[in-house]
Amino acid sequence: MMRTRPLKVALLGCGVVGSEVARIMTTHADDLAARIGAPVELAGVAVRRPDKVRGGVPAELITTDATALVKRGDIDVVVEVIGGIEPARTLITTAFEHGASVVSANKALLAQDGASLYAAAQQHGQDLYYEAAVAGAIPLIRPLRESLAGDKINRVMGIVNGTTNFILDKMDSTGAGYQEALDEATALGYAEADPTADVEGFDAAAKAAILAGIAFHTRVRLDDVYREGMTEVTAADFASAKQMGCTIKLLAICERAADGGSVTARVHPAMIPLSHPLASVREAYNAVFVEAEAAGQLMFYGPGAGGSPTASAVLGDVVAVCRNRLNEATGPGESAYTQLPVSSMGEVVTRYHISLDVADKPGVLAQVATVFAEHGVSIDTVRQQGKDGEASLVVVTHRAPDAALSGTVEALRKLDTVRGVASIMRVEGE
């Protein structure tokens, strides 16, 4: 039997995502009520610019006083889609204090301060759900928190930023340079006017922190995530990748150490074999590859951003939270019981693809090989081409600690016969 008193939802933010949340709540109200077991009602919408036209949102619901809205006391669920650290953090904790559960899409806040938000939710007996914070419409957080809760996850590797994937895909498929591909992404609306958060890896790093925390049941903050952007990736890098049967992606990689005693989280460009499932992810799509002991290899794929896809994830959480409230229960909270240390990038075992500009004369290869040996790094393959006194030397290593590989590169720069290091890129996904 359906409850007649509606569950009330407050919406913080009514931009691209928030407006879609409001629209779907209105147009699919009957379906949502049937799925939840009670009507769900949009009770207020907090915005910064009240004069902006927002189709489908009744004017009487608009307010600029977000604090008053979350303090009302009759709100069941607060949906936070304003982003940023403040005032989002204060509004969320205030919502908990006044008896509301929270659905958030705020990856930056969760990556920086997720532990305190979880603690506040638990203290006040409320839910904190955030499926939309990572990979848009792709169901990912709930499978990691719930479906795989009985398994041991060893690795999560994925493409979690659509803008960067679009740019790298265009560079790969058309031979375009970085700036040309970025300009196209901007013209199509995939890249912001200031694309720094995307192309320098900040967005992906926040998502990596969230994924690592859930996958490994330990607290991983944004500051724990190693980050490299993709602005230095060139057409020549893609040519080298193709010669190896690879392509290049900006990857978020979260791993449990082989001995199980620590975890790592990192974001950087990497060459991956064309045979790997992530290599075929095109345009602005996202995909996340999960490796678990019992379940094996799983891949989650779909649109990772945009108003409708993200709103879909938000409303999935709204339905779950509303069901919990009807049952006077809460869903999963923070699981950080392992308290594993987060290792530095230098301890990560990986492979390098290194392209060197060298003098074309006898003994150069022997000098280079000696540097690798002195740093305990084994060479997998070497390719050399040269003429007119100049040559290029491409070295692919076996797996070694990243600190040893970085030390090798620095030592190579000091050789008189090495004119310069043309490119360095990690190789993943074997």
Residues designated catalytic: 207
Residue 235 burial (C-beta neighbours within 10 Å; 0-12, 13-18, 19+): middle
Distances (CA, A) of 327 to 37, 145, 251: 10, 20, 40
Q: For strands 285-292 and 153-159, give the pairing.
A: antiparallel
One-letter identity of residue 17: V
Secondary structure class of 246 (helix, strand, coil):
strand
Write out the two tokens for 316: 């999935």
Cross-strand bridge partners of residue 352: 426
Give the integer Cα–Cα distance in Å for 146 and 156: 16
* Cβ contact 269:249 at 8 Å: yes
Element at 255 (helix H, strand E): strand 246-256
Give the integer Cα–Cα distance in Å for 251 and 152: 22
DSSP per-residue codes, 280-313: G--TTEEEEEEEETTTEEEEEEEE--SHHHHHHH
